[in-house]
Amino acid sequence: MNKTNRRDFLKATAASAAVLTLGRFADGAPAAPASKRPPNIVLILADDMGPGEPSYAGGLVPTPALDSLVKEGMQFTDAHTTSSVCTPTRYGILTGRYNWRSRLKSSVLFSPTDKALMDPARLNLPNFLQNAGYHTACVGKWHLGADWARLPKNANADKKKRSASWRIDYTKPFKNGPTDVGFDEAFFILSSLDMAPYVYLRNNRAVSIPTVNRGFPHNEYNKFQRIGAAAEDFQASNCLGDWAKESRSYIKRRAKDAPNKPFFLYLPLTSPHTPIAPSKAFKGRYKQYSWYADFMAETDWVVAQVLEQLKESGVENDTLVIFTSDNGFAPYVKIPKMFAAGYKPSGSWRGAKATIYEGGHRVPFIARWPGKIAPSTKSDATVCTTDFFATFAELLGKKNAIPDNAAEDSFSFYPCLQGKKGEIRPFTIHHSISGKFAIRKGDWKLIMTTNAGGGWGLPGRNIKTTAKFVQLYNLKDDPGETKNLEDARPKIVEELVNDLAGALRNGRTTPGKKQTNEGWPYRDAATKKKFPQLKE
């Protein structure tokens, strides 16, 4: 960890409390890119960061690196994930298809012995980019499973070591992890930082063998205390620094060959997801608020480290950087002082992580590409995290290289990056932790349940509904999703139900041949009775 860089960053955060004023596209096209070669791509994914948390969006904690991306690039003001929780969103990012088309119909992968969710036989984003000549790397949180060799039953006599994480043979390589689905190299943890095993993984092996049982204290910051296998030297507070160090090393190495072989760095961070574990350099920086504020600042610091290395390596102008999050804020993190000071992690939107409301799946989303994307611009087009696949394909001139059985729900937002206006998606489908659906089309959003779809509500945001079967909201007139128009606009309800039914039946929402899902994903008896279109 570079102490000088951290010290300089902390000085910068103290001077960066003001929120940036964002401009619209000036008339005319942006300047020509520095070169015509394919860009390097860096995709940074925060974990549990709501749309109102960065300082450019009104957050309390200065985030100068994110603010600089907004100033130098484009902010998408209507950006969403496919799901309001971790695993399914990550699946959608790397496959370009809705998460509920996989076998995972709700929740996330919890056990380290869960079967890997990614299919090595399927064309996905990293191996598509490999085929296009890219070197690819994954650094950070995977949370898509891996297929480990198992120890014999009762191999461990220690009763304290009987959890699933101790039934894995860490001396052997695993299958169907990042390097089996298109990443040339990977340095990562298997799941969240509060899910065992607590050990770093490199490529297809554990970096060290777990020898101790470890978890995290159950306190106001950490809702879950999941005890399991851990490497003796593993500390959650070191992870952000290690992700930054590994990312800098990768960029530095690959920049030497970038003119001939561009690189793709997928950087899914472990923050600000629980456990709230800022490093010593950041812990206490915002003691008037909480460790969570410190953790937010350190998350932004990692982004700053990546941007700094791109500049130092001379590839800043040849690199498309995208920052977003996997879902909204986790409201089980208790930060009363921040709420009292006006902190609104979901902004003006209802709900938070796990719910089907906007706060569950609406996320920060910024793109910077010097010379290609005009600075200080905004796009109000609706975009989704499944859209990276088609977008990268189009900017590489390989739009027609995507076969029918890949990226079935990916729409290119490349025209938006060029300053063009207009919607790119016919509609967007969202999913809650309990597997409930919502479909958004223009200003209208239909929620296929009478409640939040599972999960946790934010303080003061638990607005009861009067829904009989569904919830219909006009987000333009009612962004807080407070006025259910289910009875008033039956034709809109019917239209959106038909759109959703077609997406389920056809196995895709993009043009192309009909595809199949892994099982039928909709099992809501009440709405199937109301809307026969959704029957199997």
Q: Tell me, yes or no, whether 163 lies in a domain.
A: no
Q: Are residues 316 and 450 in the same domain?
A: no
Q: Are residues 380 and 506 in the same domain?
A: no
Q: Are residues 436 and 477 in the same domain?
A: yes
Q: Tell me, yes or no, whether 159 lies in a domain.
A: no
* β 185-189/377-384 pair status: unpaired
pTM assigned to the model? 0.91
Coil, strand or helix at 46: strand
Distance between CA atoms of residues 138 and 43, nearest Å: 10
Q: Tell me, yes or no, whether 143 lies in a domain.
A: yes
Last residue of a domain, one of 393, 426, 459: 426
**Do 427 and 441 contact (CB within 8 A), yes or no?**
yes
Which residues sit opposite 430 in a β-bridge?
A: 438
Last residue of a domain, one of 410, 426, 442: 426
Distance between CA atoms of residues 84 and 431, nearest Å: 6
Q: Tell me, yes or no, whether 224 lies in a domain.
A: no
Q: Are residues 328 and 459 in the same domain?
A: no
If one counts the domains in the chain, the total is 2
Q: Tell me, yes or no, whether 435 lies in a domain.
A: yes
290-308: b (≥16 Cβ within 10 Å) or e: bbbbbbbbbbbbbbbbbbb
CATH number of the domain residue 81 falls in? 3.40.720.10
Task: Write down the residue that tokens 């969240």 correspond to.
Answer: 192
Distance between CA atoms of residues 455 and 461, nearest Å: 13
Task: Write down the residue that tokens 């793109």 correspond to.
Answer: 367
Q: Tell me, yes or no, whether 29 lies in a domain.
A: no
CATH number of the domain residue 455 falls in? 3.30.1120
pLDDT tens, N- to C-terminus, the chain (536 residues): 444 444 444 444 443 333 222 222 233 333 333 347 899 999 999 999 999 999 999 999 999 999 999 999 999 999 999 999 999 999 999 999 999 999 999 999 999 999 999 999 999 999 999 999 999 999 999 999 999 999 987 777 676 677 899 999 999 999 999 999 999 999 999 999 999 999 999 999 999 999 999 887 656 666 667 889 999 999 999 999 999 999 999 999 999 998 899 999 999 999 999 999 999 999 999 999 999 999 999 999 999 999 999 999 999 999 999 999 999 999 989 999 999 999 999 999 999 999 999 999 999 999 999 999 999 999 999 999 999 999 999 999 999 999 999 999 999 999 999 999 999 999 999 999 999 999 999 999 999 999 999 865 443 344 567 789 999 999 999 999 999 999 999 999 999 999 999 999 999 999 999 999 998 655 555 666 677 777 65
Distance between CA atoms of residues 470 and 27, nearest Å: 43
Q: Tell me, yes or no, whether 51 lies in a domain.
A: yes
Last residue of a domain, one of 426, 455, 485: 426
Per-residue model confidence (pLDDT) at position 304? 98
Q: Are residues 453 and 387 in the same domain?
A: no
**Do 181 and 131 contact (CB within 8 A), yes or no?**
no
What values do phi and psi take at 185, rounded to 5?
-150, 160
- Alpha helices, H only, 203-264: 239-255
Coil, strand or helix at 456: coil
Per-residue model confidence (pLDDT) at position 162? 72
Q: Are residues 434 and 487 in the same domain?
A: yes
Q: Are residues 383 and 484 in the same domain?
A: no
Q: Are residues 330 and 376 in the same domain?
A: yes
Reference 217, options 272, 160, 276, 162; nearest CA is: 276
Q: Are residues 412 and 438 in the same domain?
A: no
Q: Are residues 308 and 384 in the same domain?
A: yes
Rounded to the nearest 10 degrees, the angle between the axes of helix 64-72 and helix 291-312 is 50
Q: Are residues 511 and 377 in the same domain?
A: no
**Do 229 and 165 contact (CB within 8 A), yes or no?**
yes
Q: Tell me, yes or no, whether 5 lies in a domain.
A: no
Per-residue model confidence (pLDDT) at position 143? 98
Per-residue model confidence (pLDDT) at position 455? 67
Which residues sit opposite 212 in a β-bridge?
A: 230
The CA-to-CA distance between both ends of the chain, in Å, stands at: 54
Q: Are residues 417 and 457 in the same domain?
A: no
Q: Domain range spanning residue 482?
A: 429-534
Coil, strand or helix at 476: coil
Q: What is the 3-state secondary structure (H, E, C) of 307-338?
A: HHHHHHCCCHHHEEEEEEECCCCCCCCCCHHH
